[in-house]
Chain A
Amino acid sequence: MSRRVHPAVVPAQPFHLATREAGDGPVLTTDEGREWVETAVSRYPQKKAALLPLLSYVQSKRGWVTPGDMADAADALDLTPAFVHSVATFYTMYNRRPVGRHLIQVCTNIACFLNRGEEVLERFLEETGTHEGEMSACGNFTVLEQECLGACGFATVVHVNEKCFENVTPEGVGAIVQALRDDAAAYPNGAARAVEGGD
């Protein structure tokens, strides 16, 4: 599966499309990374402006952003690591710890809350056997509580990777999780973390 992007557009991959090819190695300080930083910086009047694309790039290669990546980004853009840290924590879509192959985001904001969103979240945590924000032992699941996923007409809203599930009830959660378990091969980009023996 490949996504065509215009060469002028920074390939800001969402986490679920991350190749994770970087593993634990450096991203921004490799030859490819350096070249990429140069391209990104050249597109903006200020170096600082390239920070979000840089973090997105890191996430597309690793699946999450490490403190080391933040320091590298700061180095590349003449910023302080602390500033990069503040930006990376401000935007919730940058993962600051590894996430499972299936990233499940449950909205508990007002509309979803009124439609048992918190129960849905509880059920997801039970079904996957994780705490909020942590990765399940097998590397398959991470469940996050989100403030609003922008589909309040269809509360409760759940995002699983790039797919949106609407009108989710606590009773329907088991089926979704089971489908994800059965369909591990549906997300080839996440295959770097192979499913081994289920949860």
Chain B
Amino acid sequence: MAAEASTTATKAPPAPDTVSLTIDGVGVSVPVGTSVIEAAQRTGVVVPRYCYHPGIPTRPAQCRVCLVEVEGRPKLEPSCTLEAQDGMVVHTASDTANDARQAVIEFLLVNHPLDCPICDAAGQCMLQDYAWVTGQLKSRLDEPKQVMGRDRVADDILYFADRCIICTRCVRFMRDVADNDSLIVAQRGHKAYIDTFPGQDLDNPFQGNIVDICPVGALVHEDFLFKARAWDMDPAQSICPGCPTGCNVTIDTKENEIVRLKPRWNPDVNSYWMCDYGRKRLVMSQRGVRSETPLVRGEADLRQARWGEALDWLADRLRALGSAGGRAIVSADSSNEDLFYLGLLLKRLGVDSTMFTVETGPTAALPGVPKLKLRADRAANGAGAEMLGARRVSRGDLNGANGGGVLIVLDDALEGADQFWGADADLFIYLGTRRPEAARSADAVLPTANFAEMDGTFANWEGRVQKFAQALAPPGAARPAWMVLSRLLARLDDTEQAVNTAETAFDRMAGEADAFQGMTWSGLGPKGAIAPGAPASAEPAGPAAPVANNGRPGS
């Protein structure tokens, strides 16, 4: 790419809407209006930055760490606000630029406490990184450091004023992206710190993002404080299951426990952000007692069984029932693969009624990113369930009377159903991550993995199919539902095969389910793809959800 770009820079006349420039000896063509820092990124050069963040529209150019040398210009210029121009020759790491950068870093370190051993950001800290890059590893400072202490800016966000370098990313995120003027810089100069109005903490559904964009450890989540070091965590690329938006997230785990969630960039879904509800819900949803062992109906009670034994037992019962008909209840938390394989089983059993229900909750919008909302549904894959033929009903309808035949429940919590629910079915199979009271009459309880414990896909509100990767090992003998169901199918039908990867499951689904026709697992890519059978009017028309609190009185 570099060679190709440099020919463009030197020979071919540039298209009128692009400019060509040379950055560190590499030519690059970028659209008119691109800043040099972004143009540099296209050549693979990451110019150090603090105040610049691609997701925040304002560029104050105040941290002075992205200064670059431009040939023919007497002074260094901040590359975040410098617009790329034709023929510009930029040196991002010349001696002059490096010296200036080193001076800036040294200045930032004058009052920085260097408490890296107890700082949550250590290992992911841009001050550490650039201090290392600029190479001055010995302090020339004799004077004592200024001590400012710490403060609480929101119910779960702490502010360590000493670590802060006043890049104002947090203030500008709140003001320019979340349209909330409640977080400000107080004082000025070396006394400056980030603050809210005394006695008024932040109260915005998207405020957690200020912790993610803090380049140092000044803003930290209290529920993550001192929990894990950056290098001890295992990241997994996943999808937030909190609502149908499907924000791309990184799940950081430590010792098979989720310790935090960070949003992951996806310009088509959530940009750089996610809401606080999603953050907290996933961490919380990992708690509680999980279903860990397959159980099958013995003489009277359920007894534990090995997987093979349980599936053999179940296959015998299903064979005996033949095409008995019945009813299925699924969960909108299940992946597309789970739902598809359940659909295959249901077809064999002659079950044509599949329903699900979704709880709803308050909504919230982020004014700076119209697509990103906390949507009312509190499950990730309602669209996928509908695309695979399930019908959305109310909780009351769901818990209604069952007839005979087969009753299969996939991971629905059966809230409100009594303990005799499902007793009238000929065969009641419960596949789920937990075992609710109402599953007492079940003839078989099969423990399944939740989305964080397997690979798979969700379809979001607009039918965008997105992959998520396994972050945790499932508890006990729990396994992904598609894996379990494919093995059950293989016992019922010699032409069926047990599948072992979500990729195989997905590709089969793409071949057989109309809504996913023509898609491939590898074709989904990191950003997902809209399914051919995506719901037409995905977003209900109407006024955008109001911002819960923009901080201004009386609005």
Q: Which residues of A contact B (CB under 8 A)?
A: 67, 70-71, 74-75, 78-86, 89-90, 147
Output the least CB separation between B185 and chain A (Å). 6
Report the bound CA distance from A79 to B182 in whole Å: 10
List residues of chain B with CB within 8 A of the CB of A82. Answer: 181-184, 195-197, 200, 551
User: Quick check: A85 and B197 within 8 Å, CB to CB?
Assistant: yes
B residues contacting A by CB (< 8 A) are: 181-189, 195-200, 551-553
- The minimal Cβ–Cβ distance linking B194 to chain A, given in whole angstroms, is 10
Query: For B185, what are the chain A residues with a Cβ–Cβ distance below 8 Å?
Result: 86, 90
Distance in Å: Cβ of B139 to nearest Cβ of chain A: 22
Indicate if the CB atoms of A86 and B552 lie closer than 8 Å.
no
* Residue from A71, A74, A86, A89 whose CB has the most chain B CB atoms within 10 Å: A86
B186, B196, B551: residue with the most chain A Cβ atoms closer than 10 Å: B186
Query: Could you list 22 examples of A-B contacts with CB < 8 Å?
Result: A67-B197, A70-B197, A79-B552, A80-B182, A80-B197, A80-B552, A80-B553, A81-B197, A81-B200, A82-B181, A82-B182, A82-B183, A83-B181, A83-B184, A85-B184, A85-B195, A85-B197, A86-B184, A86-B186, A90-B185, A90-B186, A147-B189
**Chain A residues with CB under 8 A of B186:** 85-86, 89-90
Minimum CB–CB distance for B422 against chain A, Å: 54
Distance A82 CA – B531 CA, assembled complex (angstroms): 45
Nearest-Cβ distance from residue B184 to partner chain A, whole angstroms: 4
- B555 and chain A: residue at smallest CB distance: A78
**Are the CB atoms of A79 and B181 closer together than 8 Å?**
yes
Q: Which of B181, B187, B198, B199 contacts A90 (CB 8 A)?
A: B187
Task: State in angstroms the CA–CA spacing of A33 and B144 once bound together.
Answer: 46
CA distance A78 to B551 in the complex (A): 11
Given A86-B185, A86-B186, A89-B187, also A80-B551 (CB < 8 A):
yes
Residues from chain B with a CB closer than 8 A to the CB of A81 are 197, 200, 553
Q: How far is the CA of A83 from the CA of B553 in the complex (A)?
A: 12
Q: Report how far A147 CA is from B191 CA in the complex, Å.
A: 12
Please give me the residue from chain A that is nearest to B180 by CB atom.
A80
Min distance, Cβ A82 to any Cβ of chain B, angstroms:
4
Question: Complex: how many Å from CA A3 to CA B189?
Answer: 34
A85 touching B187, Cβ below 8 Å: no
Nearest-CB distance from B553 to chain A (Å)?
A: 6
A178 to B76, CA, bound (A): 53
The 9 closest A-B pairs by CB, nearest first: A86-B184, A81-B197, A82-B197, A80-B181, A89-B186, A82-B182, A80-B551, A82-B184, A89-B187
